[in-house]
């Protein structure tokens, strides 16, 4: 089996590379990544001898046609993903997430791949009310509210349309918020961990009431594995972590694990158009493919904190670049610079 993994030097993609390399040692693995702000080849240091790494942009259609020749499975992770960056500058998100997916899917069709798996997000569904019992599922209408989520919604539609129009043998997963090893500095959990470790304020949007459903990254990898190998062509599977937490709860959990005072929590200006709650119902993938969450939020956070303690040499340069702060200031900086 030959598998091509796009975005394999990113957070979730790199975890999937490790997962596939360890579970299927006989697979030929090609990893493609443009190595933008979100990609770092250092993430793959432990599997360099098991993969063929290619630095390339998925928007480069001729290159994708070349790379996909002889490939059985494409696992498509490559995307611009930071919501705040998309608010500051949506252009790269539209280019990579929409046109890049088009380029990759057309190349996959041309080369006759057996499975094209598209990794998406719960953010395409919009927002849920705090206090309601509603959850996202495979039948939830799309209602994206940021440039990032709009670009991912568009890419989902492209994949499905190419399945109908050209016979692309696709599957799609829409996942909730991932966390775990190799997470990107600038995202909430890494920033909170790094800030707490350095006794710096933990920046919490608004009053910290926005709720997310958190999924440990290895549980996400098992779901994608099942969708690729056992899922039906044309199916979508929603993957959730069953861990509803708001910003305050996340900060408190991390501070308590590290033995730091809760006085380090600091409220900052909220994100424009901030979705207030996400929650995924994973019962369909459980029923159809037997997927089950294996890592609780508390255990996953402990593992993540321990990983960040052990891998400071990797994340510290990134943390310094972000000044241990979230990217909440990016859209404000953009506006101020344009005045």
Whether 163 is covered by a domain: the verdict is yes
4-18, 162-176, 312-326: lowest mean pLDDT where?
312-326
Whether 57 is covered by a domain: the verdict is yes
Active-site residue numbers? 122-123, 148
* Residue 42: band (very low, low, confident or very high) from pLDDT cuts 50, 70, 90: very high
Give the pLDDT confidence of 224-234 residue by residue, as tens digits.
999 999 999 99
* Residue 297: band (very low, low, confident or very high) from pLDDT cuts 50, 70, 90: very high
Give the pLDDT confidence of 21-36 residue by residue, as tens digits.
999 999 999 999 999 9
Which pLDDT value is given to residue 270? 84
Whether 83 is covered by a domain: the verdict is yes
Whether 218 is covered by a domain: the verdict is yes
Residue 65 sits in which domain range? 2-182+214-242+274-294
* Across 141-147, average pLDDT: 94
Whether 146 is covered by a domain: the verdict is yes
Do 113 and 71 contact (CB within 8 A), yes or no?
Answer: yes
Mean pLDDT of the chain: 92
Whether 305 is covered by a domain: the verdict is no
Torsion of CA 291, 285, 189, 39, to 10 degrees: 100
Own/partner contacts of 198-201, CB < 8 Å, gap of 24 or more, are 198/324, 199/260, 199/264, 200/264, 200/324, 201/264, 201/265, 201/266
Beta-carbon contacts of residue 298 (< 8 Å; ≥ 6 apart): 253
Which pLDDT value is given to residue 100? 98
Whether 262 is covered by a domain: the verdict is no
pLDDT of 324 over the 60 cut: no
Domain of 80: which CATH number? 3.40.50.720
pLDDT of 334 over the 80 cut: no
Q: How many domains does the chain have?
A: 1
pLDDT of 132 over the 50 cut: yes
pLDDT of 15 over the 90 cut: yes
Do 85 and 330 contact (CB within 8 A), yes or no?
Answer: yes
Sheet arrangement for strand 236-239: 51-55, 28-33, 2-6, 73-76, 115-121, 170-175, 236-239
Which pLDDT value is given to residue 319? 64
Whether 106 is covered by a domain: the verdict is yes
């Amino acid at each position: 089996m030959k598998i091509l993994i796009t975005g394999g030097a990113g957070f979730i993609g790199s975890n999937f590379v490790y997962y596939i390399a360890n579970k299927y040692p006989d697979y030929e693995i090609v990893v493609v990544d443009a190595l933008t702000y979100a990609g770092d080849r250092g993430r793959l240091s432990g599997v360099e001898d098991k993969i063929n790494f290619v630095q390339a942009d998925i928007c480069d259609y001729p290159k994708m046609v070349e790379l996909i020749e002889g490939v059985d499975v494409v696992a498509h992770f490559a995307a611009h993903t930071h919501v705040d960056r998309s608010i500051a500058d949506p252009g790269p998100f539209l280019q990579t997430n929409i046109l890049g997916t088009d380029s990759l899917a057309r190349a996959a069709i041309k080369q006759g791949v057996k499975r094209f798996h598209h990794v998406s997000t719960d953010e395409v569904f919009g927002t849920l009310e705090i206090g309601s019992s509603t959850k996202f599922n495979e039948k939830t209408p799309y209602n994206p509210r940021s440039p990032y989520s709009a670009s991912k919604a568009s890419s989902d539609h492209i994949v499905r349309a190419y399945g109908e129009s050209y016979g692309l043998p696709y599957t799609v997963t829409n996942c909730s918020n991932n966390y775990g090893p190799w997470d990107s500095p600038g995202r909430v959990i890494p920033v909170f961990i790094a800030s707490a470790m350095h006794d710096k304020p933990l920046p919490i949007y608004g009053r910290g009431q926005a709720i997310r459903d958190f999924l440990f990254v290895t549980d996400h990898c098992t779901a994608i594995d099942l969708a690729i190998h056992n899922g039906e062509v044309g199916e979508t599977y929603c993957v959730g972590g069953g861990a509803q937490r708001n910003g305050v709860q996340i900060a408190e959990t991390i501070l308590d694990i590290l033995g730091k005072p809760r006085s380090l929590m600091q409220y900052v200006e909220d994100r424009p158009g901030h979705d207030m709650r996400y929650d995924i119902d994973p019962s369909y993938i459980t029923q159809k493919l037997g997927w089950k969450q294996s890592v609780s939020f508390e255990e996953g956070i402990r593992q993540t904190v321990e990983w960040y303690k052990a891998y400071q040499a990797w994340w510290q340069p990134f943390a310094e670049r972000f000044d241990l702060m979230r990217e909440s200031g990016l859209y404000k900086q953009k506006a101020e610079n344009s005045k």
